Amino acid sequence: MAFEQVISFLLSASILGLASGTIYGVIALGFVLLYRVGKIVNIAVGDMVLIGAYLILFYSELGLVPNPLFNLLLSLGLAALTTVILAFFTERFLIRPLYGQSILSLIMMTVALALILRGITISRWGTQLKIFPGQHEIFPAVPLELGYIKLPYVMVWSMLGAVILFGFFFYIFKRTLFGFAMRAVSLEPEAAATHGISIRKIYTYSWIIAYVAAVLGGLIMGVINGLTVNISVIGLTKALPAALIGGIDSPGGAVLGGLLLGLIESTIGTYLNPIIPGIREVMPFIILLIVLVFRPYGLFGTRRIERV
């Protein structure tokens, strides 16, 4: 019986960890994409997740269609369209005037963006816990049982959604002209401009993708934990470590970094937490420190050699 309990724990914790890791990986793409294209460390990514979640809540409360599932999916689409507008204004009026300035200026502007988004959220929706309308009908409280494994339905859907999103993004990055243009801008922006690639458009599209990824992350986080301002902490406590572990200029590294982080956090972190209280919460930073000591550019990041 003890052996069966151990197997059940390992399987359940591993699957739950991978499910959590897909969420971290989706949000980490927002870090990676903006850094790869514009060398921007986007501190606001957690608050982009926050505003995305509350935009979904706003549209879902309108009850545009009676079916709860279709209403939530429609709200997700409308929230994504709204963040496209936010992405345009963010890049055009906050970030673009600072291109050519110091990296610190860009980082501080993303800090300001985070405070703006958080302030809008608090002033419009307050700080009380909220849930999406009809989410308990869409995601039943009874878990899905697969032998020893018990999975909440929200984790199953989040994994499927993340896999579809990853596939879509990697198709764009590897198989489309936009992906080629993005890689060209990230490697040699001056050369890309001389070949007719609009660097400003690439920057704008990158912000759009980062916002849309944040909306999906906001939906999943809102369903799992409920809607509070605390959703925003996932940006710096989970997604940024995942991006740094995988390599902050590697989209594939962000995904694998998120999966690795979620897996270790759910298995080793959960096992050690009763022995060392709070170890699960600091596990991302422990893993990050270990990785950066041996691989300063992350597991899959581009290694740069600078001569001085």
Taking only the tens place, the pLDDT of each residue in 145-172 is: 766 667 777 777 777 877 887 788 778 8
Q: Give the CB-side neighbour count of residue 68, counting CA atoms within 13 A.
A: 10
Strands 149-151 and 144-146: antiparallel
- At residue 1 the predicted structure's pLDDT band, cuts being 50, 70 and 90, is very low
Query: Is 0.75 surpassed by the pTM of this model?
Result: yes
| pLDDT computed for residue 2 by the predictor | 64
The token pair at 259 is: 């999966």
| More confident site: 33 or 53 | 53
Q: What is the pLDDT of residues 73-110, one digit of tens each?
A: 999 999 999 999 999 999 999 999 988 788 889 999 99
Least confidently predicted of 41-50, 188-197, 211-220? 188-197
Q: Distance (Å, rounded) from C-alpha 211 to C-alpha 173?
A: 17
- At residue 244 the predicted structure's pLDDT band, cuts being 50, 70 and 90, is very high
Would you say 172 and 178 are in contact if contact means Cβ atoms under 8 Å apart? Answer: yes
Token look-up 């995988």 returns 246
Would you say 286 and 237 are in contact if contact means Cβ atoms under 8 Å apart? Answer: no
Q: What is the average pLDDT score of the chain?
A: 86
Token look-up 């499910």 returns 19
The token pair at 21 is: 């890791």
